[in-house]
Each structure stands twice: as C-alpha cells, then as structure tokens.
C-alpha cells in the first residue's frame, strides 16, 4: 500500500490489546509508536475483527481519511478545526487472504494508511471486537476488494459508511457466478463457516452467470439463502449493478445493461422472485443504479465507470464504487437491517 504523507505536527500514541495469535500462546505485548511510520501503521495481529478508535486533529485545521488492508476505505475524510480533537471509530475485518479470497495472501496483520487533504492523527487504539456484527459480502468483481487502481468494488467503499460495531467481511471474488461460488471451498464454504447468529450476508451474484439457466440460477440463490439461515445469519439478496450500455434514446439496454444473459434469464427478476418466495430482504441495486445512470446521461455517467480509463462499462471507478456503496447503505438503513446510529 502507498502511505499518504502525514503532517510533521502529528503526535501518534498507539495502544494495542489483541487476543493470542494461536491457542496456547500468550497475547502479544502492546504495540507502540515504533509500529507507525509516516502515513502508515502496521499492527501485528492475527486474523479476526478489530475495533479501531482514532483521535483526529492538531494545532492547524486538518482533514484526515483512513484506508486499510487491500485499498479498503475505512474512514471518510474528516475535517477538524485548528486546535480541536475529534474521536472516530470503525471496525475492520482482518483475514488471509486480505483481499479477494482466491488471490494472494497479502501482508499479515492490520495495515492502515493515513491520508486526506491535511492529515492529522493524534492517537489510535486497536482492540479485538468480540461482539461486532459482520456484514458478509458474497459477490463478483463489481463488489470485491480490488487489488489495483483504478478498479474499485462497492464493497471496498462500504466500510466508510459504517461506524464501530459493524464490520464488512468482503468475500466477493472476481469472475464468480452462483455456480462457481458454491463450488469453490475458498468461497461459500469459508463464508458459511464464519457466519454467527445475527450476521448479515449480502449476496450479489449475476454478472458471470452468462450461461446459467433459470432453474439453476434460482436453485443456487435458494441454496445460498438456506445455508446462511442454517448458520443463524440473515441473508439479503442484492440485485446486480447495471452495466453502462445505452440505447440511442438515452435509456439503458434491456439486455446487457440490465443483466439478462444469452439464455434470456433476467437475473434481477429471478432474484426479486426468490426474495418474495423465501421472504428475504432485497436491495434492488439494479433499479437504483439504473435510475442514477440514466439520470446522469451518456457523458456524466462515465465518471462512475472505467469508460475513459479502460473502455470498461462494467467495473466502477473509486467514485462510482463510493456512490454505489452509499446506495447500499441507504437501503440497509431504510429496511432497518442496520441501526440508525450505525452510519458514519
């Protein structure tokens, strides 16, 4: 990760209290300022869920943002007037692999990057989050923690909208369909084993179900829902983000853009049907993103995707992923799936 520059006026005091790395080992000693260099901090903790409390501000006006692990946005830029201090908190999932489940392991422990227009970090404390509620994300490349710029999944930006006590465990993986996600033990089997009662499981799989027929697609969604419920989790079906493919009249194409595959399977429609049949909460992200993209039009909607950078009208830019993550956050709040005080 690249570390953003931090003001020389920053005073950093760090306290860490973590559980043992392995059964039978004593817990590690508290980590101090020697583990923070410039705009980056590294905490040598085992996989798990951790609460992070930061104290922001300095002698001059500041604007601080925090990212971590594989380019996850953990705290949106926060402005603090000169001479003041503001406390903020978030909860972070530390795992191996730290990004996409079928990707490289990444660096062990918890890595944070302190950035923003005028960063000022006055203090930080990291502790195990024994009672945090997790939001597991099951999805494809439009959701996952993308390793390299400019690609960004909406799941990568969702943590910035949640405060301490809610952790995003993003197990989305590039190229996956409902078929492959269920078949690979690194994917659904791993998610299922981690689910605790009360955890949310957000499922957005459709982009890569290009050759999946309707009965199979429906059955796979039903399997994911039932399996999550067996573990005490609460599944939430999320219809897929649209592709930026316009008709001549300025509306989105009814096939490619709205996720109808070559077999004529309307993935969002099937997902809506399964949600009704099984009484599963539904976030209709297809409808929300369609309305937004069409309202912006052909030119202005380019900024949400990688149209100019990569000639890519499927994957989102950091801006697009941030906007789409906010749409998910709005729906989670509106449907009372997260408490009102949970948003940043």
Does any domain span residue 150? yes
| 8-state DSSP, 254 | T
Last residue of one domain, picked from the residues 100, 128, 156:
128
Higher-confidence residue of 288 and 15: namely 288
Does any domain span residue 4? no
Average pLDDT over residues 148-153: 97
Higher-confidence residue of 122 and 307: namely 307
CATH number for 257: 3.40.50.1110
Query: Could you tell me if 280 and 237 lie in one domain?
Result: yes
Q: pTM of the prediction?
A: 0.90
Q: Which residues contact 209 (CB under 8 A, 6 or more apart)?
A: 177, 178, 179, 217, 261, 265, 267
Helix (H) or strand (E) holding 211: none
Q: How far apart are CA 157 and CA 134, in angstroms?
A: 15
Q: Compute φ and ψ for 43, nearest 5 degrees.
A: -115, 120
pLDDT band for position 38 (cuts 50, 70, 90): confident
Mean pLDDT of the chain: 90
Residue pLDDT, tens place only, 183-223: 999 999 999 999 999 999 999 999 999 999 999 999 999 99
pLDDT score for 141: 98
Query: Could you tell me if 284 and 260 lie in one domain?
Result: yes
Q: Which residues contact 342 (CB under 8 A, 6 or more apart)?
A: 162, 163, 165, 166, 333
Helix (H) or strand (E) holding 79: strand 72-80
Does any domain span residue 88? yes
Reduce the DSSP state of residue 136 to 3 states and report it. strand
Residue 341 region by backbone torsions, left for phi larger than 0, else alpha for psi between -120 and 50, else beta: alpha
pLDDT band for position 178 (cuts 50, 70, 90): very high
Query: Could you tell me if 264 and 286 lie in one domain?
Result: yes
Average pLDDT over residues 105-122: 94
Query: Could you tell me if 153 and 189 lie in one domain?
Result: yes
Does any domain span residue 274? yes
Sheet hosting strand 72-80, strand order edge to edge: 36-37, 40-43, 110-118, 62-68, 72-80
CB atoms within 10 A of CB 37: 12
In the predicted structure, residue 181 carries a pLDDT above the cut 70: yes
Query: Could you tell me if 81 and 140 lie in one domain?
Result: no
* Parent domain of 326: 133-338
pLDDT band for position 14 (cuts 50, 70, 90): very low
Highest mean pLDDT among 17-21, 125-129, 281-285: 281-285
Tokens of 91: 């909860």
Query: Could you tell me if 171 and 259 lie in one domain?
Result: yes
Higher-confidence residue of 9 and 94: namely 94
Of 48, 58, 61, the closest CA to residue 12 belongs to 58
Burial 191-230 (b: 16+ CB within 10 A, else e): bbebbeeebbbbbbbbbbbeebebeebbebbeebbebbee
Domain count, the chain: 2
């Amino acid at each position: 990760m690249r570390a953003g520059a931090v003001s020389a006026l920053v005073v950093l005091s760090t306290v860490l209290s973590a559980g043992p790395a392995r059964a039978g080992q004593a817990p590690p000693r508290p980590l101090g300022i020697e583990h923070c260099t410039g705009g980056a901090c590294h905490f040598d903790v085992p996989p798990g869920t951790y609460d992070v409390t930061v104290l922001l501000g300095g002698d001059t006006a500041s604007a601080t943002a925090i990212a971590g692990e594989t380019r996850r946005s953990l705290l949106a830029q926060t402005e603090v007037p000169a001479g003041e201090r503001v406390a903020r908190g978030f909860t972070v999932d530390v795992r191996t692999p730290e990004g996409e489940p079928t990707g490289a392991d990444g660096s062990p422990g918890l890595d944070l990057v302190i950035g923003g227009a005028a960063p000022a970090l006055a203090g930080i404390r990291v502790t195990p989050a024994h009672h945090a509620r997790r939001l597991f994300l099951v999805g494809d490349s439009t959701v996952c923690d993308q390793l390299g710029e400019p690609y960004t999944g909406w799941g990568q930006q969702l943590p910035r909208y949640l405060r301490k006590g809610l952790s995003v465990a993003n197990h989305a993986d590039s190229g996956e369909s409902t078929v492959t996600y269920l078949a690979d033990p690194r994917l659904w089997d791993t998610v299922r084993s981690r689910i605790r009662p009360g955890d949310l499981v957000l499922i957005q799989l459709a982009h890569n179900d290009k050759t999946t027929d309707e009965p199979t697609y429906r059955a796979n969604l039903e399997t994911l829902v039932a399996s999550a419920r067996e573990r005490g989790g609460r599944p939430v079906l999320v219809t897929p983000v649209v592709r930026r493919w316009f008709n001549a009249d300025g509306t989105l194409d009814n096939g490619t853009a709205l996720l109808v595959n070559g077999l004529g399977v309307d993935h969002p429609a099937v997902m809506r049907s399964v949600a009704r049949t099984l009484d599963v909460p539904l976030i209709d992200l297809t409808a929300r993103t369609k309305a937004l993209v069409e309202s912006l039009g052909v030119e202005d909607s380019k900024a949400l995707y990688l149209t100019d950078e990569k000639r890519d009208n499927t994957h989102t830019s950091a801006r697009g992923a941030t906007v789409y993550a906010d749409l998910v956050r709005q729906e989670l709040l509106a449907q009372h799936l997260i408490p009102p005080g949970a948003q940043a």
